[in-house]
Amino acid sequence: MSLNFARLRRLRATPALRDMLAETQVSLNDLIYPIFIEEGLDDFAPIDSMPGVNRIPEKKLEQAIKEIAAAGIRAVMLFGVSHHKDEDGSDSWNPNGLLARMIKRCKDAAPDLMVISDTCFCEYTSHGHCGVVTDGHVHNDHTIENLARQAVVAARAGADMIAPSSMMDGQVAAIRAALDADGRQDLPIMAYSSKFASACYGPFRAAAGSALQGDRKTYQMNPLNGREALRESMEDEAEGADILMVKPALPYLDILYQVRQQSLLPLAAYQVSGEYAMIKFAAMAGAIDEARVVRETIGGIKRAGADLILTYFAMDLAREGF
């Protein structure tokens, strides 16, 4: 009998061979750990919808950051939980406000740990929108002026990278111009370039204490749109972004793959709070093996084209290995 077919199983025969032939590797160099820092808080506060994630009290940030750096994490993304919210989110560009303070504290505690500043307003506005609301509408051009101010304050506080996430048109161009005018030509921008109006941000909004009523559909993208997502990322590249991002990650691997084909820039993907919660709660119910599912999803995101992955599982991976 001479059947002609490929013996693909030959290459799967032993653990050593399987490891040697793995096409995708993930390491701590690929991960960014998002953290929540709350002012006026005395102790670490668990987030019910994100088991295993705590809000870090501002006064214990130094201790928390040292642990994160010691675990081998290379970069954190900071989110402030503000007690000084107003209409425009002005605390975020106050040089003595929470955003500037937490950046300074991180850099003082662990100078080699990259600090990325999420650049938006929703954690600092009384209405919870990602910008200035005028006549019930989020005003694009007033918002990008404020984003530019916030970015300069973050840069002066010591941020290593600026990550605009408000999905305003022209936000990358406005921030690049303001940073350059402040003598910060060398500071990179990682744009949340293709960010969808996703139902997967629910746990984050609870975590960050967002006051939002309504939704963000006039600025974040329709989850059903792929071509438009490519336009968004290409536009941010043209405006001067140094790194692009797709957010959320798992439901948008097609977008990630297509941006990877169309751009030579480094590319990030954000495994968001709802993606984290889905895995955590399913594992807590005994339905899936958490450690294996985490590695499968992170590996899949990398395989689809991400150079960097933002994930709340970063500390677990740092502790347990890959």
Contact set with ligand PBG (CB under 6 A)? 118, 120, 122, 130, 165-166, 201, 204-205, 216, 272-273
Question: Minimum Å distance from CB 98 to Zn ion?
Answer: 15
| Cβ count near 199 (within 10 Å) | 11
Nearest Cα to Cα of residue 152 among 122, 183, 127: 183
Separation between Cα atoms, residue 171 and residue 239, nearest integer Å: 9
Q: Which does 107 bind (CB under 5 to 8 A by kind): ligand PBG, Zn ion, none?
A: none
Which residues 6+ apart lie within 8 Å of 154 measured at CB? 99, 100, 103, 117, 119, 162
Separation between Cα atoms, residue 49 and residue 38, nearest integer Å: 17
Does the annotation count 247 as an active-site position?
yes
Does the annotation count 280 as an active-site position?
no
Among residues 26 and 122, whose Cβ is nearest to ligand PBG? 122
Among residues 298 and 310, whose Cβ is nearest to Zn ion? 310
Which residues 6+ apart lie within 8 Å of 225 measured at CB? none
The one-letter code for the residue type at 201 is Y
> In which element (H, E) is residue 271 found?
strand 267-271
Determine, following the binding rule CB under 5 A, whether residue 272 of this chain makes contact with Zn ion.
Answer: no
Question: Minimum Å distance from CB 85 to Zn ion?
Answer: 13
Among residues 120 and 172, whose Cβ is nearest to Zn ion? 120
Determine, following the binding rule CB under 5 A, whether residue 122 of this chain makes contact with Zn ion.
Answer: yes
Torsion (CA) 296, 301, 304, 308 in degrees, nearest 10: -140
Among residues 62 and 223, whose Cβ is nearest to ligand PBG? 223
Q: Which does 184 bind (CB under 5 to 8 A by kind): ligand PBG, Zn ion, none?
A: none
Separation between Cα atoms, residue 27 and residue 142, nearest integer Å: 40
Q: Which does 313 bind (CB under 5 to 8 A by kind): Zn ion, ligand PBG, none?
A: none
Question: Minimum Å distance from CB 234 to Zn ion?
Answer: 22
Determine, following the binding rule CB under 5 A, whether residue 120 of this chain makes contact with Zn ion.
Answer: yes
Determine, following the binding rule CB under 5 A, whether residue 130 of this chain makes contact with Zn ion.
Answer: yes
Catalytic residue (choose from 85, 247, 280, 302): 247
Question: Which residue of the chain is nearest ligand PBG when measured via CB?
Answer: 204
> In which element (H, E) is residue 57 found?
strand 54-57
**Contact string (CB under 5 A) for Zn ion, positions 65-104, x = contact:** ----------------------------------------
CB-based burial label for 1 (10 Å; 0-12, 13-18, 19+): exposed
The one-letter code for the residue type at 197 is A
Could you tell me the CA-to-CA distances from 266 to 123, 164, 226 in Å, in that order? 27, 16, 19
Among residues 171 and 273, whose Cβ is nearest to ligand PBG? 273
Question: Minimum Å distance from CB 191 to ligand PBG?
Answer: 12
Among residues 165 and 263, whose Cβ is nearest to ligand PBG? 165
Catalytic residue (choose from 85, 107, 195, 280): 195
**Active site positions, annotated:** 195, 247
Q: What is the contact surface with Zn ion in residues (CB under 5 A)?
A: 120, 122, 130
